[in-house]
Amino acid sequence: MLPWQALHHLSLESAKSVHQLADEAVRDLLKKYRRPITLREALKESLRMQPANDHPRDQRAVARSR
């Protein structure tokens, strides 16, 4: 049986479209490699705890008092 035929049979058995099965497979693969799945997750991961050009509050207070 060819892979395409197997995929078609799986879609019939699971009552899902081939597109839905492909989406599920891609999501599982992204999870396996710990990659963001949605845009929201990607944006959340891109945030840094402290931006590169900002200083911690203590150092700013020390710099002002000089």
Question: Per-residue pLDDT tens for 11-61?
Answer: 999 999 999 999 999 999 999 999 999 999 888 888 865 566 666 666 555
Give the integer Cα–Cα distance in Å for 4 and 21: 12
Give the integer Cα–Cα distance in Å for 32 and 39: 17
What's the pTM? 0.59
Contact 7, 21 (CB under 8 A): yes
Q: Where are the domains of the chain?
A: 3-65
